Structure 1
Amino acid sequence: MRPRARPALTSLLSLLALGSVAGAQLVPGPPVAPIPVDATPPPSGLVRLQTPAGALVGRSDGQVSFWQGVPYAQPPTGDARWKAPRPALPWKGDRSALTAGPPCPQKGAGSFGLVGSEDCLSLNVAAPSAALGAGAAALPVMVWIHGGAFTSGSGSQYDPRLLAREQNVVVVTLNYRLGALGFLATDGLAGESRALNYGLQDQQEALRWVKTNIRAFGGDPGNVTLFGESAGSMSICAHLTSPPAAGLFHKAIMQSGSCAAPGTTIPQADARRTGAAFAQEVGCRGGDPACLRKVPLARLISTPIPGRGELRFLPLTPAHGDVLLPSEPAAAFREGKAPRLPALLGTNRDEGTLFVGPLGDRGGDLPLLTHWALAGVLAGWNAPRVLAAYPTAQGVGVASARLITDAMFACPARTLARQLAAVTPTYMYEFRDPDAPTDLLPTGSAPRYGAFHASELISVFGTPLTYFASPTHFTPAQGALARQMRSYWANFARTGNPNGPGLPTWAPVTPTQDRVLALEPGRVQELGTFAQDHRCDLWP
C-alpha cells in the first residue's frame, strides 16, 4: 500500500502551476476584484472592429491592436452554475474592449480572500494592425490556455502583443472556470448532463468563438494552434482526445504538462466521490444541484477539496468517463488513438525547484522524511531504487526537485512524445537556461532555481510576469534565445514545422528515438542524453 502523503508533500504536489505560487489560505477579504491590468489607452488611439457578435473598440499603437474582456459565453451564474457554457449574446452599438474582464473566482494572495467574478468567460485578442486592412492575408491563430493547477490564473496575466507583432500571428488568451466551479463532479450534476468538466467545456466554447469570429481580427479559422503551460498544457492534452474538440484546432503546443503524468485526469467515479464529500462540506448532502447553486461564492472557494490529505497531484482535475472526455487520455495515447495533429511539447530542466522552494523546514532544507514520502508516493514498491538514484548529498530539496522533475514532467513528456510520433509529426524540447531570470528568492530547499517550472514563459511571450520574472533581466544571449523560441513556436503555428531560416535545425521525434532540442542561451542543439539525464529507466 502506498503511504499517505504528508501535509508538506501534499502542498508540494498541488502546486502544479505558476498561479499557485502566490496562493494563500483564504481569509475574509474585500469584495470581488479583478487582477489589475493596464487600462491606459496608448497615445496613438483606439481601433474599432466589426465582428459577427458586434462592434468592439480596442487599442492600437500602430503596429499591434488589442481587444480585452471580450465575452465568448454568457455568465455561468445562478441557475447556469455547473452547466455547459452558452454562446455570448450579440450586442448593438460599440462595446469597449479596453480592459480585461475579471478572472474566474479563485483564492487570493496575502490578505485578499477572493478575487474574480463568476461572470468571467471572456478572452483577449492581439493582432498585427496590418492584418486588419482590406485584402490582408489571414494569419495563423495561437490560442493560449493558462496554467494554475486548475484553481488559479487568468488569460490577462499574459500580454500577447509582442508575440503577435514580432511573429505576425493573431494571439488569443482566455479565462475558464476554475476549482469547484470548473471541475466539480457529483451524481446530481451528472444526472443533469452527460458532460461535466465545465472548465474544459469553457475552453472549447472559446475555440468555437474563435472559429466564428477570428477572421474579423485578421486570423485564419482554419489554422488554429492551441498552446498552454502546466494545467493549460494538460487541458490541451485532454482536448486531443475529446470528441467535441475535433475540428476546433489544428496543432498543439504543450509546455510542462503531459497527460501521461500520473493524476492529471481521474475516473468519473473517483471525481464523484470527491464531489459528494465536497457537497456535504458546503451543506448540500447528496450533492443536490439546486442546493449547490445557492451556496455563496466565498464558501465554494474557501472550502478545501476533500482528499487533499491523500495523494492528489492537483486539488481538482478533469475527470474522464463523460461525453467530453470518454476515456483516459493517457490510455488513448498508449493505444495509438491520438489525432493526426502536429504536436510540439517539452519541459524545463529544473521543473521541481519551484515546488520545493517554499517547503523548507522553517527556512531550512526540506525534511528528509518528506523526500522519502515523495519517493514512496511516486514510485511505490520501487521506492528503495528511486531513493538510491536520488541521493541527498547536495541537499534534500535538490534531490526532491530532481525527483519531481523526472517523474512528473520530463519522463512523462518523453513518453507522450514517442506515442504521438507514431501517428503525427512531433517535436520535443527541453528549456535549459541554468540562470533563468526570476524574482523568486532562494531558500534552504531551493538554493538556486535554474530552469524552473514556468521559467520559459517570459521567453515565449517576451513580456514580464508580475512578481515572478521579467525579460528586462535577460542577458543578450537569453534575449536571443527568447526570440528563437518565439520563432520556433510561430513557425510551428504557421506550418506544423518549427524550423525556419536562421534557426538551428529541429528534428522530429520518432517512436523509437529521442530527438530533443536543448534550448539554452548560446547553445541550441539536439540533446542526446535526455533519458539518461532524467533517469527515465525509473519512470514511465
Structure 2
Amino acid sequence: MLGAAHGCDHVYGQSEAFFTCMRNVDAAALINTSSNISNMFQTLWAFPRVETTFGVLPDHPVRILAKGQFNDVDTIRGYNSHEEGLIKIDNYSRKVQTKEAFAKALRETLEPYAIPDLEGLIRQFLDIYIGNTTDPSFIGQQASRAVADLSFAGPTLTELYLTTGSSDRNKHYLYRFDYRDSFRRGPPWIGAVHMDELKYIFGLDQLHPSIFSLRDRVATQADYSIVDQMMTLWSNFARTGNPTVNMSTLQWEPFSNRKPKMLMINKSPTVADFSRSEVVRLYETILKVGLFLIGAINNLPYVIVNSAASNIAERWAVFGLHNLILTLNTHVTSPLFDFQTHLAPGGTLDS
C-alpha cells in the first residue's frame, strides 16, 4: 500500500525492483504517507520481511510453526475477555447498535486486506455473532467481541493449534483473563480490556498511578486476590514450567489439539475446554485467502488447504488482522487499495 502510493508496485518475484523504487522515494514523503494510511484505517501496520541475510525471519511464520521449526520452550499465552472494550463500537461519532453498523465496522477492519467475497465473509460474522437479533445493546456487545476475536482470540488459537499440532515436545498453557477491575468504568458487560492483566501480573502497588489510569482509583481486596493468583501462576511457571505446581485446588492442564484446555482467570478460576471453534474457523477462512499456504498448513482441525499448488505462489500474503500483525513479506498480485481515488493533489491522502 505504501509503495503503491508512490508508484512502486510490488510484483511477485520482483522484490529487488520494488525496494530499489522505494529507496528513491523521499523519506519525509514515506513517513507522511505511512501516517496517513494508518490514520485512514485506524490501525497499526508492521509487516516484518521474510529474509535470510540476517535470519531474523527466514520463512513465513505459519510455515515455521507448521513444520515445528521453533525453539523448544514451554509457553503461556492468552487473551482478555473484552480486549477491545468500547474502542471499536463507541468511538466518538461511531456507535454500533444495528446490524448495518456492525457490518460497517467489520468492513472497515477487513477492507485493507482485499479479501475476495468480503461481503460473504461479513455475512458469516453476522450470522454467528448476532443472528436475527435486533437488540441494540446485544449487537454492540457482540460487535466488540467479534473485533476482539479477529485481533486476539482467533490469532492466538490458530497459532496455538499450529504449535501443538506440529510438536508435542513442550507444554503450552492457554488462558482467558476475565476479571473486571473493581474500579472499572463503563458498561457492566465489559470485563477485562486490553492489557488489564498486566497490572495483576506485576502488582498493583508496583505501578506508577499514571499507568493503566490507576490514579484516584482504590483497589479492593478482590483486586489484590487476583494479584496473588496471577503472581503465583506466573512465578510457578517461571520456576518449574507448571503454573499450578503444589496447588491442590486448581490444576491448569496444558493445551493440546485433543484436549484444548483453557484457564478462565477470575475470582474463582476454572479450567475448561476451549469451545468456540467458530472463532478459529472464521480466522482460518481469512488466512486461507491471504496466506502463502503452499500446502504447509495441514495440522489445524478446520483448515482446508487449497490443492491448486501450481498457482498458489501467486497469491498475496498477509498474516494477521487489525492490531495483531504477526508477519511477513507480502507478495501482492493485485492492488490492495485504489490510491488514485484517495490521493489528493500534492500526494497526500484524502481524509
Q: TM-score range by the shorter chain?
A: 0.5 to 0.7
- Quote the offset at 1:287 in angstroms: 2.0
**2:177 pairs with one of 422, 427, 431:** 431
Looking at structure 2, the residues matched to 351 and 384 of structure 1 have their Cα atoms a distance apart, in angstroms, of 23
1:338 maps to amino acid = F
Q: Aligned to 2:23, what secondary structure does the other structure show?
A: coil
Hey, what does 1:468 align to over in structure 2?
A: 212
> Are the equivalent residues in 2 in contact too, given 1:407–1:539 (CA < 8 A)?
yes
Structure 2: tracts of 5 or more residues without a match: 7-11, 285-351
Q: Which amino acid aligns with 2:103?
A: W
Say whether residues 1:490 and 2:235 are aligned partners: yes
Residues 88 and 105, structure 2, Cα contact 8 Å, conserved in 1: no
Q: State the distance in 2 between where 1:407 and 1:531 align.
A: 16
Which residue of structure 2 aligns with residue 480 of structure 1?
Answer: 225
Cα distance in 2 between the residues matched to 1:450 and 1:401 = 12
Aligned to 2:345: none
Structure 1 residues 270 and 387 mapped into 2: Cα distance closer, same or farther (>3 Å)? farther
1:432 is displaced (CA, Å) by 0.8
Work out whether residues 99 and 126 of structure 2, in 8 Å CA contact, stay in contact via their aligned partners in 1: no
The SS at the match of 2:88 is helix
| Bigger RCO (CA 8 Å, 6+ sep) | 2
| Pair 1:371-2:138 in alignment | no
**Selected match of 1:515 from 244, 261, 278:** 261
Q: How many Å separate the matches in 1 of 2:238 and 2:245?
A: 12
Partners of 2:81 and 2:176 within 8 A in 1: yes
**Does 1:349 find its partner at 2:95?**
no
* 1:371 maps to amino acid: F
Per the alignment, do residues 435 and 312 of structure 1 end up closer, same or farther by CA in structure 2, a change over 3 Å counting? Answer: closer
| Distance change in 2, residues 1:477/1:409 (3 Å) | same
What is the aligned-residue RMSD (CA, Å)?
A: 4.0
Provide the residue aligned with 1:388 in structure 2.
127
Matched-pair contact (CA < 8 Å) for 1:352–1:403: no
Name the CA distance, whole Å, in 2 between partners of 1:403 and 1:269. 37
2:68 to 336, 358, 362: 336
**Identity rate, percent:** 22
The alpha carbon displacement at 1:469 in A equals 3.9
Partner of 1:538: 282
Could you tell me the TM-score, scaled by structure 1's length?
A: 0.40
* SS of residue in 2 equivalent to 1:479: helix
Number of equivalent positions: 254
| Offset of residue 504 of structure 1 | 1.7
Match of 1:504 in 2: 250
Q: Secondary structure at the match of 2:282?
A: coil
- Whole-Å separation in 2 of the counterparts to 1:351 and 1:271: 39
2:159 is paired with a residue whose SS is: helix
**TM-score with structure 2 length normalisation?**
0.59
- The 3-state SS of whatever aligns with 1:330 is helix
Shift of 1:507: 0.7
SS at the partner of 1:508?
coil
- Write the distance in 2 (CA, Å) between the matches of 1:483 and 1:435: 14
Q: Structure 1: how far apart are the matches of 2:38 and 2:82?
A: 25
More helix by share: 2
Residue 399 of structure 1: how far off its partner (Å)? 2.3
* Whole-angstrom distance in 2 between the partners of 1:430 and 1:365: 25
Equivalent in the alignment of 1:321: 51
CA contact (8 A) 1:350 1:452 kept: yes
Counterpart Cα distance in 2 of 1:367 and 1:309: 25
What is the DSSP-based 3-state SS (H/G/I as helix, E as strand, rest coil) of the residue aligned with 1:506? coil
| Deviation at residue 448 of structure 1 after TM alignment | 5.0
The alpha carbon displacement at 1:467 in A equals 5.7
Q: Matched residues in 1 for 2:243 and 2:13: separation?
A: 37
Residue 466 of structure 1: how far off its partner (Å): 1.9
Residues 462/309 of structure 1: CA separation in 2 closer, same or farther (3 Å cut) = closer
